[in-house]
């Protein structure tokens, strides 16, 4: 493996990690503030991709598609909160897991019913097509760099909102001690709704941004959801900073592992066996990392003090 390839994989890993963070951020806040397990967060990502692709096709513009996706996913998140989630805050985790699992079944099938099973495509915008020359012989797609930049900017904005604004202060306090925030006279339900809608919008934004480089298809949110859960568990539930670092870690390990493991295996095995074993090890790597981290730090890397 040469440095150029490694650099490309590292960039891909970071970019994947950033997308992962946008999904995980909402999940970890909802989890931290409301002690609520939302398996249906992954479908918000899928919806973002579908809405982005559809709206872009309707308006004929990538930018309008992306822009309109934000209020659309926000509205959808609030609708789900109203119809389903708010009735589950007081229930145990088992009920939350099951009911939100029901939401996944419904929405994955709903998307199939509306859009069909064939993958959809969202075109890369004219402005961001082509590549950027990073070093000699390395042309990296401009769009992927744009995702990286947009993701980092969103992460910065999120950091500002959570750390520097009054609402963010309440959210952080809520993650540590929800009854206390209630006692301060804050309408905790409104706060929950706000966090929920915002989280749904972030996931939708990630989905729409990823749409041009992925195939948009039913169930695309499910595997990402599992990785997002891995991220928030590694990062420490409720910690946005933890989610950020863990998301980059998971993104890098996943991407680089996938490209390097087969090569590594080839040192010990014949090529075809190495390819199989390497792919298996790469997919497992992330869970091995998680198990190892939890074995030593059961509350994750950046536990939120309760």
Partner 1 sequence: MKRPDVLIALAIFAALAAAPFIGFGQGYSLTLLARAMIFGMAAISLSLLVGGGGLVSLGHAAMLGVGAYAVVVLDHARITEAWMVVPVGIGAAALFALVTGAIAIRTSGVHFIMITLAFGQMAFFTTSSLALYGGDDGYTLYNRLEVFGSRALERGIVFHFTCLGLLIAVWALVRALLHSRFGRVLQAARDNETRARAVGFEPYPYRLAAYVIAGAIGGLSGVLLANAAEFVAPAYLAWQRSGDLLFMVILGGLSGPHGALMGALAFVLIEEWLAKLTEHWRLIFGPLLIFCVFFMRGGIAGLLRRG
User: Which residues of the chain form contacts with partner 1 (CB under 8 A)?
Assistant: 31, 35, 37, 39, 84, 87-88, 91, 93-95, 97-99, 101-110, 112-113, 222, 226, 229-230, 233, 237, 272, 276-277, 279-280, 283-284, 287-288, 290-291, 294-295, 298-299
Task: Quote the least distance from Cβ 276 to partner 1, whole Å.
Answer: 5
Which residue in this structure is represented by tokens 């091995």?
A: 288
For partner 1, the closer of residues 157 and 284 by Cβ is: 284
The closest of 229, 193, 220, 218 to 80, measured between CA atoms, is 193
Residue 275 C-beta: closest distance to partner 1, Å: 8
Q: How far is the CB of 207 from partner 1 (least distance, A)?
A: 20
The minimum distance between CB 208 and partner 1, in angstroms, equals 24
* Most distant CA atoms of the chain, gap in Å: 66
- Give whichever of 42 and 141 is closer to partner 1, judged by the CB atom: 42
Question: Please, which residue, 68 or 104, has the CB nearer to partner 1?
Answer: 104
Where does the chain have alpha helices with state H?
3-34, 41-59, 62-83, 93-115, 142-164, 166-176, 178-183, 188-210, 220-235, 240-266, 271-296
Q: φ, ψ for residue 139 (rounded to 5)?
A: -105, 115
Which of 29, 55 has the CB closer to partner 1? 29
DSSP SS3 for 134: strand
Angle at 278 between CA 274 and CA 281, to 5 degrees: 140
Neighbours of 95 (CB within 10 A): 13
The structure tokens listed for 128 are 């961001």
Give the shortest CB-88-to-partner 1 separation in angstroms: 8
CB closer to partner 1 out of 75 and 280? 280
Residue 13 or residue 212: which is nearer to partner 1 going by CB? 13
Q: How far is CA 88 from CA 35, 45, 133, 162, 225, in A?
A: 10, 21, 50, 25, 20
Which of 5, 284 has the CB closer to partner 1? 284
* Dihedral in degrees, nearest 10, Cα atoms 280, 228, 19, 67: 140
User: Least distance from C-beta 102 to partner 1, angstroms?
Assistant: 3
CB-based contact 45:207 (threshold 8 Å): yes
Nearer of residues 64 and 101 to partner 1, judged by Cβ: 101
Distances (CA, A) of 14 to 20, 241, 296: 10, 16, 25
Nearest to residue 203, comparing CAs of 64, 12, 29? Answer: 29
């Amino acid at each position: 493996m040469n440095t150029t390839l490694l650099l490309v994989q590292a960039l891909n890993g970071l970019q994947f990690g950033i997308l992962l963070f946008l999904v995980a951020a909402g999940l970890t806040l909802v989890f931290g503030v409301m002690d609520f397990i939302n398996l249906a967060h992954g479908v918000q990502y899928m919806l973002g991709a579908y809405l982005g692709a559809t709206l872009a096709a309707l308006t004929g513009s990538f930018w309008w598609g992306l822009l309109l996706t934000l209020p659309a996913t926000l509205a959808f998140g609030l609708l789900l909160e109203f119809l389903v989630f708010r009735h589950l805050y007081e229930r145990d985790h088992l009920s939350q897991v099951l009911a939100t699992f029901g939401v996944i079944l419904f929405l994955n099938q709903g998307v199939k019913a509306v859009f069909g099973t064939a993958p959809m495509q969202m075109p890369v915008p004219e402005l961001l097509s082509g590549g950027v020359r990073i070093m000699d012989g390395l042309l990296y797609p401009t769009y992927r760099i744009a995702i990286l930049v947009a993701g980092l900017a969103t992460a910065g904005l999120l950091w500002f909102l959570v750390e520097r604004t009054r609402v963010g202060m309440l959210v952080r306090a809520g993650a540590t001690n929800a009854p206390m925030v209630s006692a301060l006279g804050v309408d905790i339900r409104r706060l929950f709704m706000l966090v929920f809608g915002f989280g749904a919008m972030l996931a939708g934004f990630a989905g729409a941004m990823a749409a041009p480089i992925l195939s948009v298809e039913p169930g695309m949110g499910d595997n990402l959801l599992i990785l997002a859960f891995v991220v928030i568990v590694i990062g420490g539930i409720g910690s946005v900073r933890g989610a950020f670092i863990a998301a980059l870690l998971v993104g890098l390990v996943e991407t680089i592992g996938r490209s390097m493991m087969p090569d590594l295996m080839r040192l010990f095995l014949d090529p075809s066996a190495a390819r199989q074993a390497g792919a298996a090890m790469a997919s497992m790597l992330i869970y091995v990392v998680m198990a190892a981290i939890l074995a030593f730090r059961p509350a994750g890397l950046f536990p939120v003090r309760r």
